[in-house]
């Protein structure tokens, strides 16, 4: 009798998860996705009132969730948050300040890099340190962007930050693989959230977006949720140092 293979489990019951930027949008979608498959999710963000509302709604569904006030630009606070090891860390905190490259203000450049690169870097290292100290494997997932692989109009700083994250993740995957720590990125196209509505309401920008996306729609938060479940679980046990493109074919050209 042929011995049939079995799909690895997506179940995260008993796993402890940190999701940053979890108060709304993609971050909240990631927190919900992981809670749905059994994880105890620590939802972190700066907007504590909005964050607590989200956590209360998750608990009302019967899921395990708690709120953590966290400014990801504060490396000390990030270290403290990661003092007890997590099984999965999802970084969805991010910042975008768009302008023509020649009009970029130094303070905008610094603000974007401080969150998108420096914050992502030290969240990764502190999470990995405690995983390794505890002798346990783990999965670190960064919400990057298709703009980590291409360029975009008025997005030189944002593209620079996301290209940096993609390179950082490859190097960390090489360093931490022997410890069983996987690190990957999810690279969405334009996702419909309250923060992106101004872009979608701009006819010129919308025409550019729909010309680039090969599928006949923009992205929704739900498009990210299955991907984060996959990368957080044993189903992706041989996946590290790579980018999962959820871009509707944008980067297929």
Active site members: 158
User: Nearest to residue 171, comparing CAs of 161, 160, 158, 181?
Assistant: 181
Beta bridge partners of 18: 42, 89
Beta bridge partners of 51: none
Burial string for 100-115 (b: 16+ CB within 10 Å, else e) reads eeeebeeebbebbbeb
Contact 222, 29 (CB under 8 A): yes
The H-assigned helical ranges of the chain are 25-36, 48-60, 75-81, 106-113, 120-134, 156-176, 197-200, 203-212, 222-232
State residue 213 phi and psi, 5-degree precision: -75, 130
Q: What is the DSSP string of 48-70?
A: HHHHHHHHHHHHHTT-EEEEEE-
Beta bridge partners of 8: none
Reading phi first (left if > 0) and then psi (alpha if -120 to 50, else beta), residue 32 is in alpha
C-alpha to C-alpha distance for 2 and 64, rounded to whole angstroms: 40
């Amino acid at each position: 009798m042929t011995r049939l293979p079995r799909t690895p489990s997506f179940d995260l019951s008993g796993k402890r998860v940190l999701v940053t930027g979890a108060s709304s949008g993609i971050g909240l979608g990631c927190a919900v996705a992981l809670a749905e498959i059994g994880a105890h999710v620590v939802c972190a963000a700066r907007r504590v009132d909005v964050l607590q509302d989200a956590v209360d709604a998750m608990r009302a569904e019967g899921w395990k969730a708690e709120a953590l006030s966290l400014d990801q630009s504060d490396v000390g606070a990030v270290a403290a948050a990661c003092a007890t090891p997590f099984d999965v860390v999802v970084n969805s905190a991010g910042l975008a300040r768009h302008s023509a490259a020649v009009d970029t203000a130094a303070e905008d450049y610094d603000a974007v890099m401080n969150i998108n690169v420096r914050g992502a870097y030290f969240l990764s290292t502190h999470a990995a340190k405690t995983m390794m100290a505890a002798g346990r494997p783990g999965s670190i997932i960064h919400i990057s962007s298709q703009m980590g692989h291409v360029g975009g109009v008025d997005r030189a700083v944002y593209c620079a930050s996301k290209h940096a994250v993609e390179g950082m993740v490859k190097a960390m995957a090489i360093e931490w693989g022997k410890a069983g720590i996987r690190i990957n990125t999810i690279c969405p196209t334009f996702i419909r959230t309250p923060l992106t509505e101004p872009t979608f309401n701009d006819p010129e920008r919308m025409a550019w977006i729909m010309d680039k996306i090969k599928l006949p729609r923009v992205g929704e938060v739900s498009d990210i949720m299955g991907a984060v479940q996959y990368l957080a679980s044993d189903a992706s046990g041989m996946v590290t140092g790579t980018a999962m493109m959820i871009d509707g074919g944008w980067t297929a050209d």
